[in-house]
A and B are shown apart, each in its own frame.
Chain A
């Protein structure tokens, strides 16, 4: 279970998150909706442990992730949590395949099985023919799909997605969301941030965020 307790975060004196309390059960598919500038991405970054909150704490299965040491943080990021950033953030010096396999290599997963899983995901998302290319040779949509597969390659306990379908056409959006649903059905907790109602409805629960507070 993921718990956010009284999370507050400010940037340059301006409060972006104002005392957020949120619980996400294991296996849940939570969609967080909000307008531009409402604090969605900030909430996700705090939830993923990339931004420390000014106040409050984030508990993953009862553990405060901001209190992790370096080794625990590494294990957490490559084994327990997958993350897709809003701007994909692929490593420019690695091919798409290498980007995808990176967490699995760091987690010392069995590469044969991992490659097979990667091939399946790539086929599902339609990038199996271009994983040998570098990010600057891929379109925005292809990069986004590669980033999604990277987040899922280690079959993490939870995966966090910041606008996972922003760069995709409607057909591909459906395929991505179907994939996320399938992953969720296999037991992975999915948290996504989106501003699209249609995409949000793929989740089992929709939470709204407005002016730094959860509503609904």
Chain B
């Protein structure tokens, strides 16, 4: 019966003083939404990546591309049928840029419309009619291209491609880019006829020869691996890269780090949210302490009373989760549209429900942490309880590490991953221990300051009484606690984000070039050096290989390493079979100087001897590709300033008409490599802002309540003769005391957190530039 009365008392309290309960529910709701959307965003990103890859390859099982060893750069899909027979479908693609009249550039592809339909499922929102007569001048465009140039079915547009001015009529508009990258698709015949007009060699190939830079083959039930082997053995394709699409997609989809980063960040969100909800609940409990005491005096069991207070936290949690689910459902379409997800059509799958269930669990942890913290901190301060508290903290920390060890063992994690797991567990322990210890530190600091003031007898009334108040006002202690945790977590996140941005800028500046020419051949460099507007052309080998550890390793080889900016030191230039490896990769796999490494580059096995180590953001290996007969596949071109950026691109395109090389700016070149890193940083930015919001809300609430509950006290100061100015100054000095102490403690904690986070990131062989323990102080 009395429990019913107690609940009635709680309900009435909430009605009379709704601020803290409402704030608790809002924080828990937002925490749920952020966690659910983060987990779902990861799932959607993985799905979108898969769908994009599927769009990029269509129904192709095998892809043939040119590489640096390719001697005969003229290849046609007809040669595929000679090797594999007519049971397969092959489509050739000739990638080329279209320069539009407004100075824009659109990436286009020339292909055989019949062949492409046999490998790719092209969809159109609008479609005209392509006849034999209109084949050469028909173009299929993406919706974004059509909208940009206000094109509809039957509209015409002019563009320059390969140095020829061409006019096309739009006969189809696709909802997305073709093969996930091309804005324009035209018939190869028209291009060949344009080329043939100026080149007897092309004219001699005949009307049916479809030049292409890549060929996509649908095996139609045949074993792709076997087909790939046949192609590799065929003379026409021996010097080209023949890859099985399924294997390529598997290595490209590496979201392991994103997933662990999401989980670590949502745990941080849970911790910060728990701290804020704890502060709200602390205030709530203080507001009701008289009434709750009366229940105890009337005979209610104190443990039962405490348990009932915890059910209130559970009620807030449940309400937050229900509201959070509704908000997540409503916000999903807008989120997907704003994030640029274009392939996902059904976001509310079973995975959505599973992720919401995980969010429920994580938000429950938030509420649980609140209840646990509340239990520890509101118990009477008896010697027995103090001893118990010390023991309980040790037990809690031990449990966290034990859980980390158990998870590592159960998941059969590698030593590096275990190292990462323990680093994350240590972060949690640090935050937990700090949460309990900060008020004691704050009081000690205040007492020390108070003693100093007394000794000096400065006569500063306001500061003197602010320090005296700060000793005992729990809401000020909670403000300090919250601020310290906020500063620690946000400073650590900010350091990671800042370092990540530094890494991205460094990566983008690694090659001081205006353009990168990709998939170049042996004779390309000679043509480029003669090209108008070119000051220098540095040949490089730039690629990625999969190591024995199933990691992706960036491999770079340069004739002149002084052309590279960034962390590489030219005095370390590898010669012969020497290799220079990034320090983080070496640390991760215990590689020492003199060790042998074997990598496979363009089908060629290269055994290298490790010579030295450099500090590089991601796993990188520098070697001498020419020693192994591997020719450069990238040319870094620097303009001489006589042509504009776009004019230089046109000049290069004209010089390399038949090289099948791709011209990309360094930003475009690095885009693919750092796009996932950008996603990580975007997630980090969003969660950083969320933490700022949570903590600012909790801090403001705490400080407001601190002064609201002590109105009588400040009135007493005035009654005793303190001037209004001094009363205001006391309040400001109280805030300043809590803020300064919180900043100092938080900064110290952030150093430890950054160290632990850097240990975690090392397990992914990532060494963020300049990221070390004292980064926040720099």
Which residues of A are at the interface with B, using a C-beta cutoff of 8 A? 50, 70-71, 73-79, 83, 89, 91-94, 98, 102-103, 105-108, 134, 150
Contacts and interface: CB of A to CB of B under 8 A. Distances in A.
B456 to A, nearest CB: 14
A64 B176 CA distance: 83
Nearest to A71: B723
B716 interface: yes
B733 to A, nearest CB: 13
Nearest to A85: B719
B468 A98 contact: yes
B472 A77 contact: no
A78 B469 contact: no
B472 A78 contact: no
A105 B730 CA distance: 14
Contact of A83 (B459, B717, B719, B724): B719
Nearest to B724: A70
14 contacts: A70-B725, A73-B718, A77-B720, A77-B721, A78-B720, A78-B721, A83-B719, A89-B712, A89-B719, A93-B471, A93-B472, A102-B720, A134-B472, A150-B720
A106 B725 CA distance: 12
A109 to B, nearest CB: 11
Nearest to A75: B721
Interface of B: 459, 461, 464-465, 468-469, 471-473, 712-713, 716-726
A65 to B, nearest CB: 13
Nearest to B721: A78
Q: Is chain A's interface secondary structure helix, strand, loop, or mixed overall?
A: helix
A105 B726 CA distance: 12
Contacts of B721: 74-79, 103, 106-107
Contacts of A73: 718
B723 A70 contact: yes
A94 B725 CA distance: 20
Contact of B713 (A93, A103, A108): A93
A92 B713 contact: yes
Contact of A103 (B468, B473, B720, B725): B720
A91 B716 contact: yes
Given A105-B461, A106-B461, A93 B468 contact: yes
B720 A92 contact: no
B719 A106 contact: no
A199 to B, nearest CB: 24
A74 B468 contact: no
Given A74-B722, A83-B719, A105-B461, 15 more contacts: A74-B718, A74-B723, A75-B721, A77-B718, A78-B722, A89-B716, A91-B713, A93-B468, A93-B469, A94-B469, A102-B720, A102-B722, A103-B720, A106-B720, A108-B459
A108 B725 CA distance: 16
B719 A77 contact: yes
B719 A50 contact: yes
A50 B719 CA distance: 8
B726 to A, nearest CB: 8
Contacts of B471: 93
A105 B473 CA distance: 22
**Residue among A50, A89, A150 with max Cβ neighbours from chain B (10 Å):** A89
A146 to B, nearest CB: 13
B466 to A, nearest CB: 10
B717 A91 contact: yes
A102 B717 CA distance: 8
Nearest to A90: B716
A94 B470 CA distance: 10
Contacts of A70: 723-725
Nearest to B457: A111
**Residue among B469, B471, B717, B720 with max Cβ neighbours from chain A (10 Å):** B720
Contacts of B718: 73-74, 77
**Residue among A50, A77, A93, A98 with max Cβ neighbours from chain B (10 Å):** A93
Nearest to A107: B721
Contacts of B465: 94
Nearest to B472: A93
B319 to A, nearest CB: 34
Contacts of B464: 105
A105 B722 CA distance: 9
B730 to A, nearest CB: 11
Nearest to A108: B459
B711 to A, nearest CB: 12
B589 to A, nearest CB: 58
A77 B472 CA distance: 26
Contacts of B461: 105-106
A107 B459 CA distance: 11
Contacts of A150: 720
Contacts of A94: 465, 468-469
Please name the 4 residue pairs, one residue from A and one from B, whose CB atoms are nearest each other, closest first: A78-B721, A77-B721, A74-B723, A106-B721
Contacts of B468: 93-94, 98
A208 B3 CA distance: 49
A70 B718 CA distance: 10
Given A105-B461, A106-B461, A92 B472 contact: yes
B472 to A, nearest CB: 4
**Residue among A70, A76, A107 with max Cβ neighbours from chain B (10 Å):** A70
A192 B578 CA distance: 99
A98 B723 CA distance: 18
A74 B717 CA distance: 10
A106 B472 contact: no
A94 B720 CA distance: 13
A106 to B, nearest CB: 4
B265 to A, nearest CB: 39
A41 to B, nearest CB: 14
A166 to B, nearest CB: 19
Contacts of B713: 91-93
Contacts of A83: 719
Nearest to B713: A91
A161 to B, nearest CB: 14
Contacts of B726: 106
A80 to B, nearest CB: 9
A93 B473 contact: yes
A93 B472 CA distance: 6
A84 to B, nearest CB: 11
Contacts of A106: 461, 720-722, 726
Contacts of B725: 70
